[in-house]
Structure 1
Amino acid sequence: MKKVIFKGLVLAFFCFQSYIFAQTPAKDSPIIVNRDFMGMTLELILKELAGLYELELDYDPRQLPKGLTSIKIYRNTPLNKVLEDLLAETNVQFFLNSKKITIRPRVVTVSRVGKNNEEKKGNGTDNIQNELIEVVNSYIELKPTRFNITINGVVKDRKSGETLPNVSVQVYGTNKGTVTNIDGNFTLFNVPSDTTTLLIRYLGYQTTAYKITPEDAKGKLLVEIEEMSMELGEVVVTAEKESNMMKMSENLSQVSISPAQVSTLPSIGEKDIFRALQMLPGVSGSNEASSGLYVRGGTPDQNLVLLDGFTVYYVDHFFGFFSAFNANAIKDVQLYKGGFEAKYGGRISSVVDLTGKNGNTKKYDIGVGLSALSANALVEIPMGKRASFLLAARRSYTDIIQSGLYDKLFSLYGSSNNNNPNPNAPPNRLFQTQPVFYFYDINAKLTYNLSNKDILSVSLYNGQDNLDNARQQNRGGFGGGFGGGGNINIQNKTKDLTYWGNNGASVKWGRTWSPKWYSNAVLAYSNYFSNRNRTSKVEITNADGTTRNFSTGLYEDNNVQDLSLRLDNEFKINQKNQLEFGTQLTHNAIRYLYTTNDTTTVFANDNQGTLASAYVQNRWSPTEKLSVKYGLRGTYYGLTKKTYIEPRVSASYQLTDKISLKAAWGQYYQFINRIVREDVTAGSRDFWLLANDQDVLISSATHYIGGISYENDNYLFSVETYRKDMTGLSEFTLRFNRASLIGDNNTNNQNFFKGTGYSQGVEFLAQRKVGNFTGWASYTLSEVIYNFPEISEKPFHALQDQTHEFKLVGSYNIGKWTLSGTWVYATGKPYTAPIGGYQITLLDGNTQSYVSVGDKNAFRLPNYHRLDLAFTYHFKIDKAKADAGITFFNVYNRVNVRYKEFEVIDNQVYETNVNLLGFTPNFFLNFKLR
């Protein structure tokens, strides 16, 4: 019996020894984990792992999330891989050796100011950044192993995994820095060591300090940052909140807008990127009837608007009250107000470059929104570990429910006879309509990471407005005058159908060949369409029963197609030189038809043209204070068989730590133009044509820009002055033709006129960047002068000219509330007015009214001003984010004039003001799962 007991004890001892050796490997052997963790916090899991393998655990409990983890099952998995998986979605990193697991924060971020931080206001953001670095270094004490190294990495949104473009990445303690490219990648040269700290700044996100480790520096860095609105963990340094709507770039005349944050600004309906851009200095803010941008005296067609690489030609929904871009589908917006670099071409005024969201790569997400006019929805779906899909859609329900707000808006832009009818007009000229109108847009994007170096994305867009303003009139009891004698009856059936919109698609392939060389290829298609069919069938019944029928009206059709192939390259030679070069091939096909009374063709054009472009530019930084970007763009245009050369240069010099001097000069050409068709009696319409250097000239502009800015931790003060000399301007009018003016009967079209012009001005900006109250004030003094010798004896102010414009934008955070407001004041715009009228009796007995027109744009509309307010409440439903609020447009109900209509009755000219929107409230509600 004793032998049996002894043998049993020996066997148990060897089994125990086997277990110990199985769980505690040799010093050089990896620890292998076979374990299940269910319903445990991360802290408990780490403690269990440390105890199981007899390792010391060094950590700060405040660094770890408190919630329960999902079910974790590990089989034959090395401990370092287990720790990587457990900590993958946290702000901490681990260091593992044979005796110890060390947990330290990877990044430290800036949160909102607290009451205990008020004494730091005088010291500003630099103190906050220093404190960030101190916190990081106190947690992670590492010895450098390499010096003066090159590092590369990618910046992503921590929550969604979305790559972020145009992020500022700076080496702490130096002036060395760069920005991420369109795929979020960056490269830095001559980094002091492999334990350096980086400062990461991006509009709408927490400023982040990232500590490099020697192990990190061997590969590609992954830097994840968090949105400003997100709640942070305990490891934070409290600081003042930076302005998160607008940021002036270090480059001259470049401005960034945060699409995620503009929702707090007042608007008629949903948050609107282009309405936010209109509040910037140098961009007209008084064009509430259009989302188009009038930048430094330019017109909307002179702006190059890009969405994921394809061109968008028309940016309006609902007669301009909404822009064509759904802010929920956009992650980055860059506005270049002038002096833009050689990589952009084909426009003479400005560039708006929008980058669409790729979609959440970590978890699915959904969002919905509602306002008094429209509804929107968003879906983001990760597809495996490498792909993501995003779908965003908006639609107005104005064809189903015609609210009071809809009636108020449409009364301004529906039948002109139904809005602001002339009180002096005969009663039989007035009639009522019940229009049917709706708009929609859809954004879809599929992104697939082919490898660690390749990313492929497919982006689609479709948006359209539809208006049916058909009506019927019956008028009877009139006397003679139509040749029938006695009373007559007139029946008028009017068909008035209008639709317009954009289609766009792009396929983009991005390739990182090496840390120094990146390529981006885009195949893009764009289509703008606009069609109006307004015809009336008139039946006249005389007293004797005889009838006569005739048709009147107009038909307009404008269609623009754009097919482009583009290749861009970035090659970082060294810290002082970054070379960019590329090519672009574009084919345009444009059709425009304008007919009246079914048979008379006023103007018809169907043309095609091809452009082949190439550019090269270099960013040269000979010193840490001076940066120069110079480049050259060349374009061969098939219609003229000529090559157009566009040299460009810009420079910035850091005079002191706070004062910068900037300047730019460049030559720009435009080969596709929006032609304004002047209609004196009822405003203006426009259409697109290809330039041929005959009827429609190739537009060109030379930019001269200079500026100075003073920026400290809390404020930015900036002054920029500019001048644009323009040639090749075109205008189309039916008032008269060239042959009647100058006896030229050889021109292809008698109604086109050619001119030159200039735009000049100065912009002042004062911005408060930090604190619970942020915002800016701007003032622009400018003039836009056109010279069309054939239609005006002297130069005249252009339609978009505004001498003075003053704008205030403010946002104030109180707990969960955000109060925001905007105020705009602008001098009135020019217009042309008739100074008399007369009538001619035609051969059939009818009369035709004519007007005698005064000098071109000799009159001015009344001055414009408007105050808008918004109140937004931010809250959560479980873990989902939501916000609700109300906006008040034109709070003090200012009567602003959009344009004037004129009508000749009995040889007298009657003037009617077509006014813009008065006081208008609206509500909104937005919900997002994550």
Structure 2
Amino acid sequence: MSKRLLVLVLLLFSFCIASINAQSERDEPLTTILEELQERFGVQFNYVSKLVDDITLFAPETTLSLQETLDYLKSQTNLSFVFVSDNIISLKEERILLCGNLIDMDTGEVLPYVAIQNSSTGTFANEQGYFELNGVKRSDIIQIRHMGYKPVSLNVADLETSRCNTILLTPYHEKLAEITVYDFLVRGLDKLDNGSYQLDFDRFRTLPGLVEDDVLLSLQALPGIQSIDETVSNINIRGGSHDQNLITWDGIKMYQSGHFFGLISMYNPQITQKVELRKNGSSVSETDGVSGTIAMKTDQFLNSELKGSIGVNLIDANGFIDAPIGKKASFQIASRKSLSNLVETPTYDKYFERISQDTELENNSASVTNTDIAFDFYDTSFRLLFNPSERDQLRINFIHTANEVTFDEVAEVSGTQVFRQSNLDQTSLAEGLYYYRDWTEKLTTQIEIYNTDYKLKSINSNIAADQRFLQKNEVSETGIKVKVLKSSSDYLNWTGGYHFVETKVTNLDDVDDPVFIRLEGEVLRTHALFTEMGLSSKNAATQLNLGLRFNHLDEFDKQLWEPRMSFNQRLGQYFSLEFLGEFKHQSTSQVINFQNDFLGIEKRRWQLSNNQSIPVIESKQASLGLSFNKKGWLLNAVSFYKNVNGVTTQSQGFQDRYEFVKTSGSYESNGLDLLLRKQFRNNSIWLSYSYLNSDYVFDELTERRFPNNFDITHAVNLATNYAIDQLLLAVGLNWRTGKPLTLPESDNQVLDDQINYGQTNGNRLDDYFRVDISGKYEFNLSHGNSLEVGVAVWNVLNRENTINTFYRPTLFGDAQKFDQSSLGVTPNASLRLIFN
């Protein structure tokens, strides 16, 4: 690492420490302040230690009198200071008035006559769901219970005391995962007792480098989640390729994940409320995703008032609206559109430069020039929410996304200038229907039906060869899932159901001269039955989910049994133990036939398993984790093992001696994910480290075992998130070892007009290093509206990171090296008006 980089790293560390010091200079433990006051005024404070242990505040001015000092402390701590004698002061907890409004999380309707109580008193909400509880202490725990809803326990210290709280109650339809660690990294990113991570955009704060919320980029802040090329279309979970991730939007399986061909998520965070990530221990109701599951969910309750937002940044303009239709229905619409057809910003230029590297957009033949290059993307999401009765819910979802690149190839042919247009289109169109029926307090049913269509199409007009090459890759999938949920008691529940999936994949290659047409279409139907039991101890210290899924693949007459498990055990007050395990399979994968397919921009095409040359992919995973969480300190350690069998060389992105080899094998991964986080009120600083050891095993290759293409051995993330009133700041450092690399033999680089490669993946690219910053400020306007301004810089040091290197033989008998670089320094800014 150069001296300049070393200095900048030290500066980042200094900023993180300064964040802590700034907090400590501003906030001191109350115990320290009381000790200073005892010496200054010659008094003695009597108190119970647990009353003041977790209280920090800005020390009072030394110019204040004793009484003025006590009045200040009372206003800041809700503690009362009573003189027992002239020099002995007793600390007691101030009694306060707590008020709130209770609302059904699913319907948004008020909940009347709900019982609310603490250890000494209680009350009932009125017919409007409003309640007041007097004589409450900040150390109290409030219990809220209502027939048909999950009981809620709330710490008064976490509630607003200056105004009324809105409290959402969840219907007791099924055993929902409980949050075990709030604000795992930052506010709104939580850890659940089933081993998954949940990102709640209603509470989410900014991450380094993000000017606006990004569904898939945000998940990459978690340990064990990498992107080999820093995109959302190549997310690697513990050595897996991106196609091994199951991505769903409101239960609809999606085959596309990004705009700008992977640089930003195509899922609008304004309508996507929550994202759940599972690396392991999946529910038996889910199939596919042998590496992980990314499940996006939208709001489930009806909104009684009009709300929305309008925003713009240096890439796109976007809007969202949520409007009620009477008392039983509402609709939501969200849309984004790139600004490239109006203005090309510095951010757009950086993004376009990144996606066009080593493609026909950048490198055409010497006699051909590219002109009138245009890029566009948009997405639209629509939802209709309808509750016919108190027991029924109907949800209709729709999403349409598109990316498009067009350019003219210009060349002089026989003295005449000839123009031909080449283009690339990537689109997704999906619809889903969800129906929920609450038969009794303990018996419910769910029906999910969806259809998703994905299409990748390119036309490559080759003027020099007077040839037009048309390519298409299409996926059409229909899924039906029926679930029955039965709660035997507060501590035991059962889920069972049936799942049917029909997937059709079509690939077309069409050349006009010489005429060549290859059209391949395959269909696979899968039937599945699943059952799962959830158990919880009376004190909720033990959570266990055990399930089994049976799959039947029609075309192959193949049966697969898949057991799955998640177990979480609290050990005392501060420790928890977690064990996750699963068997999984998937029958679709992305392959690369040639690196210049689809103009070289999006080379991967989806393909169905044929159970022979392309096997059904099967995985086995297990992980063991231990957490310690006390007074803002969180230490989380997870060790894991994963075996995935049935991967093909075509799906792994080889660009060395195995680039055109077609065979199947497996990979094994083991490693460790570590996280250390400290919270200071609403601010946090964290350090994460991931270790991965992942190897391929291909029995038919000359080298049977060698490192995985996605083996990032070491990865470190250091970041801080700091809030000052309405201002949010975030700074982050990302460092990781380079990806594996195969080099040509130094003394004989080319043999028989082919690259003479050395040991496969025997070397590595240079280490990857990036520093990001971001900031947001929210202006409160009238009538509850607000204006949000954001600024972010990605790779603020402009570090040139090589994310891929490959070699091609030249006419002179040597190997030409090609390097592909990551994004350089990339600024962005946003402006958003939020109205309620």
TM-score higher than 0.5: yes
Secondary structure of residue in 2 paired with 1:450: strand
2:731 pairs with 1:802:
no
Matched residue, 2:805:
900
Within 5 A, what are the aligned runs for 1:14-25?
A: none
Query: What's the CA shift string for 1:14-37, capped at 9, x where partnerless?
Result: xxxxxxxxxxxxxxxxxxxxxxxx
State the shift of 1:508 in Å: 0.6
The one-letter amino acid of 1:896's match is N
Matched residue, 1:686:
604
Q: Residues 820 and 313 (structure 1 numbering): CA distance in 2 closer, same or farther, change over 3 Å?
A: same
Which range is displaced more, 898-907 or 642-651? Answer: 898-907
Distance 1:834 1:597 in 2: 37
Q: Residues 139 and 229 (structure 1 numbering): CA distance in 2 closer, same or farther, change over 3 Å?
A: closer
2:473 pairs with 1:473:
no
State the shift of 1:532 in Å: 1.6
Secondary structure of residue in 2 paired with 1:666: strand
Q: Residues 338 and 326 (structure 1 numbering): CA distance in 2 closer, same or farther, change over 3 Å?
A: same
Q: Residues 883 and 504 (structure 1 numbering): CA distance in 2 closer, same or farther, change over 3 Å?
A: same
State the shift of 1:922 in Å: 1.2
8 Å contact kept, 1:467–1:498: yes
State the shift of 1:117 in Å: 9.2
2:819 pairs with 1:913:
yes
| Unmatched 5+ stretches in structure 2 | 1-22, 33-48, 56-76, 80-91, 126-137, 167-181
Secondary structure of residue in 1 paired with 2:216: helix
Query: What's the CA shift string for 1:324-361, capped at 9, x where partnerless?
Result: 11000111111111122212212211111111135762
8 Å contact kept, 2:143–2:154: no
Matched residue, 1:378:
320
2:581 pairs with 1:632:
no
State the shift of 1:209 in Å: 8.9
Distance 2:290 2:254 in 1: 16
2:516 pairs with 1:605:
no
Q: Residues 774 and 155 (structure 1 numbering): CA distance in 2 closer, same or farther, change over 3 Å?
A: farther
Which range is displaced more, 619-628 or 640-649? Answer: 619-628
Residues matched between the structures, number: 720
Q: Residues 792 and 523 (structure 1 numbering): CA distance in 2 closer, same or farther, change over 3 Å?
A: same
Query: What's the CA shift string for 1:509-555, capped at 9, x where partnerless?
Result: 111122212221111111111112212022xxxxxxxxxxx434643
State the shift of 1:400 in Å: 2.7
Matched residue, 2:466:
551
Query: What's the CA shift string for 1:262-310, capped at 9, x where partnerless?
Result: 5622446642011010110110055323344211111221111111111
Q: Residues 652 and 584 (structure 1 numbering): CA distance in 2 closer, same or farther, change over 3 Å?
A: same
The one-letter amino acid of 2:458's match is R
Distance 2:727 2:570 in 1: 39
2:486 pairs with 1:571:
yes
8 Å contact kept, 2:368–2:410: no
| Unmatched 5+ stretches in structure 1 | 1-111, 142-152, 174-191, 197-206, 476-487, 539-549, 742-749, 841-848
8 Å contact kept, 1:285–1:824: no
Q: Residues 651 and 910 (structure 1 numbering): CA distance in 2 closer, same or farther, change over 3 Å?
A: same
2:696 corresponds, among 765, 774, 786, to: 786
TM-score (norm 2): 0.77
Secondary structure of residue in 1 paired with 2:353: helix
State the shift of 1:650 in Å: 2.6
Q: Residues 131 and 639 (structure 1 numbering): CA distance in 2 closer, same or farther, change over 3 Å?
A: farther
Distance 1:363 1:356 in 2: 17
Distance 2:767 2:412 in 1: 40
2:806 pairs with 1:880:
no
1:119 corresponds, among 14, 30, 39, to: 30
Distance 1:670 1:662 in 2: 26
1:889 corresponds, among 787, 791, 794, to: 794
Q: Percent identity?
A: 21
2:462 pairs with 1:462:
no
2:188 pairs with 1:245:
yes
Q: Residues 492 and 764 (structure 1 numbering): CA distance in 2 closer, same or farther, change over 3 Å?
A: farther
8 Å contact kept, 1:503–1:527: yes
Distance 1:788 1:438 in 2: 41
Distance 1:460 1:136 in 2: 52
Q: Residues 244 and 383 (structure 1 numbering): CA distance in 2 closer, same or farther, change over 3 Å?
A: same
Within 5 A, what are the aligned runs for 1:383-532?
A: 383-414=325-356, 416=358, 428=366, 431=369, 433-474=371-412, 493=419, 495-532=421-458
1:256 corresponds, among 176, 183, 198, to: 198
2:574 pairs with 1:658:
yes
Query: What's the CA shift string for 1:168-215, capped at 9, x where partnerless?
Result: x99989xxxxxxxxxxxxxxxxxx99989xxxxxxxxxx9999668xx
Distance 2:366 2:247 in 1: 45
Distance 1:113 1:348 in 2: 45
Q: Residues 224 and 708 (structure 1 numbering): CA distance in 2 closer, same or farther, change over 3 Å?
A: closer
The one-letter amino acid of 1:293's match is I
Secondary structure of residue in 2 paired with 1:752: coil
8 Å contact kept, 1:499–1:530: yes
Distance 1:807 1:920 in 2: 19
Which range is displaced more, 642-651 or 597-606? Answer: 597-606
Within 5 A, what are the aligned runs for 1:318-337?
A: 318-337=260-279
Distance 1:310 1:528 in 2: 12
Secondary structure of residue in 2 paired with 1:398: coil
State the shift of 1:598 in Å: 4.7
The one-letter amino acid of 1:365's match is K
Matched residue, 2:562:
646
The one-letter amino acid of 2:267's match is F
RMSD across aligned positions (CA)? 4.3
Within 5 A, what are the aligned runs for 1:846-861?
A: 851-861=755-765
Secondary structure of residue in 2 paired with 1:284: strand
Q: Residues 269 and 652 (structure 1 numbering): CA distance in 2 closer, same or farther, change over 3 Å?
A: closer
8 Å contact kept, 1:292–1:315: no
Distance 2:547 2:573 in 1: 28
The one-letter amino acid of 1:391's match is I
Secondary structure of residue in 1 paired with 2:555: coil
Matched residue, 2:74:
none
Secondary structure of residue in 1 paired with 2:704: coil
Distance 2:247 2:303 in 1: 27
Distance 1:833 1:308 in 2: 44
Matched residue, 2:105:
156
Q: Residues 598 and 851 (structure 1 numbering): CA distance in 2 closer, same or farther, change over 3 Å?
A: farther
8 Å contact kept, 1:333–1:355: yes
Matched residue, 2:533:
618
TM-score (norm 1): 0.70
8 Å contact kept, 1:156–1:163: no
1:536 corresponds, among 462, 473, 476, to: 462
State the shift of 1:728 in Å: 1.0
State the shift of 1:574 in Å: 1.4
8 Å contact kept, 2:117–2:143: no
2:735 pairs with 1:825:
yes
The one-letter amino acid of 1:551's match is D
State the shift of 1:321 in Å: 1.2
